[in-house]
C-alpha cells in the first residue's frame, strides 16, 4: 500500500536541445507555448535555459530546454525518459495533426493509450512527444498572443515514459518513497500515478533488459521535476529520499523555485521543485520572457554572459502585444 504523497505532480521537464532559435520557433511558433523565462543554465551560464509554459507560467506547465547546438544526438535507451506527453483539450487532435503537417512535422496516426487519445511525433531536435487529450482538472491560463487558438492550446505536462533495464526497484521506490500507485498495465508498459485526478501526475515505465543504456544529447530529457507546495514539504521529501538510499543533494536555490536532485534506482535524474516563488518574482506577468533575466548572483557577469549568447528573435506567428 503506497503512502499518501506530498508530491502533487510534474513541476517541469528539462530537455537538451540543439539550436536555440529553432527551439523557440517550434515551441512558441508551432506549439504555441509561451516563452515565460529567457535565462541561462545556472551551472553553465554560457548557454540559454528557455522555459515554455501557459499564459501565467503555472508550475506543472513548464517544458524547459538547455540549447547545446554542438552536442551529439542523445541515444534512447534504459535509465532515461524516452517520451514527454503534453495535455491538450479533448477533441483537439484533428487540429493538431493538421497544424503539425502544415509546419513540416509528420505525426503518427492518432491512437489510444490507457484509454486516452493521443498523437505522437518528434520535435526538430529529436525529442519524442505525445499530445494527449484530457479533461482532467489542472491550473491553466490561456496565452492570448499564442498562434494556437485558445480551445486547442497545450495545457501543460501530462505524463512521462521511462525505459528501465529492471523495473522492480524503480516501481518499489516510486510507490514506497514518492507516493505513486500502480494503476494499470498495457503493451508491456506499467502506469503509475500520484493520487488525485489532476493532469500531470502520470509516469509510464517499461522493463527492457536487452536495451542498451541511454545517453544524454540533443533531443533527450535531462531531468524530470516533481512538484511540492513549499520548502517544508521539500525538506520532508528530501529526508525520505535519504532514508531510501537515494543520496539527494542539498537544497539548491534556483531563485524561481528551490530544488533537490537525485537519481531513481534505474538511473534517471529526478528533481523535487517547490511551486514558489514562481516566475513573477522578477518580471511582471505581461513581460515574462521578453528579456534575458539572471538570478541575482549572476548579475555581475551579465556583460560576459550576454556576449556569449546568440540573439533570439520572436517567431513571426506570435501576435503583437497590441492585439491583446
Comparing 1-15, 107-121, 156-170, 285-299, the range with the smallest average pLDDT is: 1-15
Residue 115 lies in a domain: yes
Whether residue 3 is predicted with pLDDT greater than 70 in this model: the reply is: no
Whether residue 2 is predicted with pLDDT greater than 50 in this model: the reply is: no
Confidence grade of residue 323 (pLDDT, cut at 50, 70, 90) = very low
Q: What domain range includes position 43?
A: 9-306
The three grid cell numbers given for residue 57, joined into one nine-digit string: 507560467
Domain count, the chain: 1
Mean pLDDT of 28-57: 97
The three grid cell numbers given for residue 25, joined into one nine-digit string: 520557433
Mean pLDDT of 15-40: 98
Share of the chain above pLDDT 90, in %: 94
Residue 312 lies in a domain: no
Residue 2 lies in a domain: no
Residue 270 lies in a domain: yes
| Pairs from 311-318 (Cβ < 8 Å, separation ≥ 24) | 312/20, 312/21, 312/24, 312/38, 312/48, 313/21, 314/24, 314/28, 315/24, 315/25, 315/28, 315/29, 315/147, 316/29, 317/29, 317/30, 317/147, 318/28, 318/29, 318/145, 318/146, 318/147
Residue 301 lies in a domain: yes
Give the domain CATH number at 253. Answer: 3.10.180.10
With residue 189 as reference, give the H or E element that holds it.
strand 189-193
- Which sign, positive or negative, has the C-alpha torsion 219, 26, 278, 134? negative
More confident residue, 304 or 6: 304
Residue 132 lies in a domain: yes
CA dist 263 and 81 (Å) reads 12
Confidence grade of residue 5 (pLDDT, cut at 50, 70, 90) = low
**Can you give the pLDDT at residue 324?**
37
Residue 3 lies in a domain: no
CA dist 59 and 227 (Å) reads 8
- Which sign, positive or negative, has the C-alpha torsion 93, 36, 43, 247? negative
Mean pLDDT of 257-277: 98
Mean pLDDT of 184-188: 97
Distances (CA, A) of 89 to 70, 118, 291: 36, 11, 30
**Can you give the pLDDT at residue 297?**
96
Confidence grade of residue 1 (pLDDT, cut at 50, 70, 90) = very low
Whether residue 215 is predicted with pLDDT greater than 60 in this model: the reply is: yes
**Beta strands at 221-228 and 269-274: parallel, antiparallel or unpaired:** parallel
Residue 288 lies in a domain: yes
Mean pLDDT of 295-304: 97
Whether residue 254 is predicted with pLDDT greater than 70 in this model: the reply is: yes
Amino acid at each position: 500500500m503506497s503512502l499518501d504523497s506530498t508530491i502533487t505532480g510534474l513541476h517541469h521537464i528539462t530537455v537538451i536541445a540543439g539550436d536555440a532559435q529553432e527551439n523557440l520557433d517550434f515551441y512558441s511558433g508551432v506549439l504555441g507555448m509561451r516563452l515565460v523565462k529567457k535565462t541561462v543554465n545556472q551551472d553553465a551560464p554560457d548557454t540559454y535555459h528557455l522555459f515554455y509554459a501557459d499564459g501565467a507560467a503555472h508550475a506543472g506547465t513548464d517544458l524547459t530546454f538547455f540549447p547545446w547546438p554542438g552536442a551529439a544526438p542523445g541515444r534512447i535507451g534504459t535509465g532515461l525518459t524516452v517520451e514527454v506527453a503534453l495535455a491538450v483539450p479533448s477533441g483537439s487532435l484533428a487540429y493538431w495533426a493538421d497544424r503539425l503537417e502544415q509546419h513540416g512535422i509528420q505525426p503518427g496516426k492518432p491512437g489510444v493509450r490507457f484509454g486516452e487519445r493521443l498523437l505522437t511525433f518528434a520535435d526538430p531536435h529529436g525529442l519524442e512527444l505525445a499530445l494527449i487529450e484530457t479533461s482532467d482538472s489542472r491550473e491553466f491560463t490561456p496565452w492570448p498572443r499564442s498562434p494556437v487558438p485558445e480551445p486547442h492550446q497545450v495545457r501543460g505536462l501530462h505524463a512521462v515514459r521511462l525505459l528501465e533495464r529492471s523495473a522492480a526497484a524503480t516501481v518499489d521506490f516510486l510507490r514506497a518513497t514518492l507516493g505513486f500507485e500502480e494503476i494499470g498495465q498495457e503493451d508491456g508498459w506499467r502506469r503509475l500515478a500520484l493520487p488525485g485526478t489532476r493532469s500531470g501526475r502520470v509516469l509510464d515505465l517499461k522493463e527492457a533488459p536487452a536495451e542498451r543504456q541511454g545517453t544524454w544529447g540533443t533531443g533527450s530529457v535531462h531531468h524530470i521535476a516533481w512538484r511540492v507546495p513549499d520548502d517544508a514539504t521539500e525538506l520532508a521529501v528530501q529526508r525520505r529520499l535519504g532514508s531510501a538510499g537515494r543520496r539527494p543533494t542539498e537544497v539548491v536555490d534556483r531563485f524561481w523555485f528551490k530544488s533537490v536532485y537525485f537519481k531513481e534506482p534505474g538511473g534517471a535524474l529526478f528533481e523535487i521543485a517547490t511551486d514558489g516563488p514562481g516566475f513573477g518574482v522578477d518580471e511582471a506577468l505581461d513581460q515574462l520572457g521578453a528579456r534575458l533575466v539572471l538570478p541575482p548572483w549572476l548579475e555581475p557577469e551579465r556583460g560576459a554572459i550576454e556576449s556569449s549568447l546568440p540573439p533570439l528573435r520572436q517567431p513571426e506567428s506570435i501576435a503583437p502585444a497590441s492585439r491583446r
